[in-house]
Every structure is written in structure tokens, then in C-alpha cells.
Amino acid sequence: MAHTSTLLLTLLGVQLVATTFKICAFNIRSFGRAKAANRKVMGALVQVRDSRGSAIQVLLRELNRYDRSHHYSRLESKRLGRGSYKEQNIFVYRTDVVSVIDWHQFEDRDAGNSKAFVRGPFAAHFHSSYTVHHASPREAAHELDLLFGVCNKLMEQWKNQNVMVLGDLNAAGAYIPSNAWAGIRLRSNLAFHWLIGDTEDTTVSHRSCCAYDRIIVHGEELLGAVVPKSAKPFNFTQALGLSEEEALEISDHYPVEVNLRLSPKAQREL
């Protein structure tokens, strides 16, 4: 089963020494102890550099060992969902690039609101700031629309128009019937720019071709900081020379990534 994970980012007071950096979201299927014990998979994940799950400690240790020039840390949401099936949103970030200021766990249906998200989005306010959200695939269209409200709330609360939504949104194929698009404000509102197009393929399996994973940008400064054509799925099958079978052991989704370049002017103003 596919899950939806969304990452929202607002740039606030960014004072980066490096002027380009990469942001990436990755839905790692069933990331648990078994996967963490698999050296081949862990080796590949460390090269892909993203993560989720309780095996996160192992991944972080490997990540810090693999890349000694930077230090990676994490921020975890509560474990979301009823019964034994749980999902968790985790930010893995470079401590030399961002620092955590605040975070917010949005309400879900357990709080009694049947119109709310099945799993509440998890928002983190970094020195540049992020939100993560996992949705129910069956409700992809409804939850995509709800994310419009989340973006507006964050823009108001953090007084910043520069927001990025990225990750596995289940925003394609059977999850979004063609007549549902018109009702999705995140799509119909032209202030939101969808950087990963409908015809991209973010799935690992050769049998499917769907743009489930997306990057959506709001705000002129943030849009201006996007390096043209840099938004794309990261095909780790190709990059790591894997077979389809080996790649599927890692995940059924490719991460989506984008490079941002902050001009000296933007660095002063953001």
C-alpha cells in the first residue's frame, strides 16, 4: 500500500553560508528493524540520504559515518495511526544548514473532527522551516485540498509566503480521478507552482508510471531560488546500478529533490 507523505517548507531568515542546497523527500516503505539490519539496503539509503522509521537511529549513525564532513540530526513526529499500523514523519537535517525553532502536530480524526486528516500533518519550524504529513491514499484528493489550508495557516502563523510542499502526495493515477483536480485548491490556485509534472514517473516498478511524489512551491522569493530544471525524481535504480528487484527492496518510490540557490539579495531579505 502506498502512503502519502508531504513535506512543507517555509524559508524564514535563511542565512546560509553555502548558497545552494538540496531539499529531498522520500517515502521509504516499511522502514523498520529488518530493513535497518540489511546492509545492502542501508548502504543504498545512506547514499540516497533520507529516512523515516524507528530504525532511524541506525540510519543516522550510518549517515554520519558515511558523510563525516557534515552532521545530521532528526526531528520525529508522534507515531500516527490506530491499531498496529503506524506511520511516522521524520525530518533528517544537516545541523550546519538548519536549526529547529518550533514544531506543531496538526490535529487528526482521533480528535473527533471527521473532516480532518486521517493522520495529522507534522510541522516543524526550522531556521528554514518544514512540515511533514502522511495521508490515507483513499483520501488523496481531499487531503491535497486540506493542505491548501495548512499552507495558508502556516503562512499566516509564521508570517512568510515562501512555502514548499514536497513528498509522496499520491497525487496521480487512480488516487485522483480526473474530475477531482478542479476541487483541489492546492492545484487550482495558480500561486502554487507544481515543479514535478503529471507525466513524470516517481515509481520504482517498471509496471507503473505515476507522479505520486511532487514538489509544490508558493512564494516569489522561494520560486526565484529554485534552480531551473533541478526538480526531479532521483532514480536510484540508475544512480546505484541496481536491478529493479534490488531497488524495490529499498522503496517503491523514488525520492523527489530540488536545488535552491539563494542570491545574496534573497539571503538578506528572506
Ligand X SMILES: *[C@@H]1O[C@H](CO)[C@@H](O)[C@H](O)[C@H]1NC(C)=O
**CB-wise, 72 or 234, nearer to ligand X?**
234
**CB-wise, 207 or 268, nearer to ligand X?**
207
Q: How far is the CB of 75 from ligand X (least distance, A)?
A: 30
| CA–CA gap between residue 143 and residue 263 (Å, rounded) | 34
What cell was used for 252? 517503491
Whole-angstrom CA distances from 214 to 70, 96, 171 are 27, 26, 7
Q: How far is the CB of 232 from ligand X (least distance, A)?
A: 9
Whether 62 is catalytic is: no
**CB-wise, 103 or 175, nearer to ligand X?**
175
**CB-wise, 34 or 239, nearer to ligand X?**
239
Give the residue from 1, 51, 29, 41 showing the smallest Cα distance to 246. 41
**Plot region of 164 (φ>0 → left; ψ -120 to 50 → alpha; else → beta):** beta
**CB-wise, 99 or 238, nearer to ligand X?**
238
Q: How far is the CB of 243 from ligand X (least distance, A)?
A: 9
DSSP state of 226: B
The catalytic residue among 125, 134, 218, 253 is 134
Q: How far is the CB of 196 from ligand X (least distance, A)?
A: 12
Whether 142 is catalytic is: no
Give the residue from 270, 264, 268 showing the smallest Cα distance to 19. 264
**CB-wise, 8 or 196, nearer to ligand X?**
196
| CA–CA gap between residue 58 and residue 3 (Å, rounded) | 23
Residues in the chain: 270
Q: For the beta carbon of residue 211, count every other beta carbon within 10 angstroms.
A: 20
Q: How far is the CB of 203 from ligand X (least distance, A)?
A: 7
Chain positions contacting ligand X, by CB under 6 A: 201, 235, 237-238
Contact call for residues 54 and 33 (beta carbons, < 8 A): yes
What cell was used for 118? 486521517
Label residues 153-171 b or e (16+ Cβ within 10 Å = b): ebbeebebbbbbbbbbbbb
| CA–CA gap between residue 145 and residue 108 (Å, rounded) | 15
The catalytic residue among 87, 143, 200, 257 is 87
Q: How far is the CB of 50 from ligand X (least distance, A)?
A: 17
Catalytic residues: 87, 134
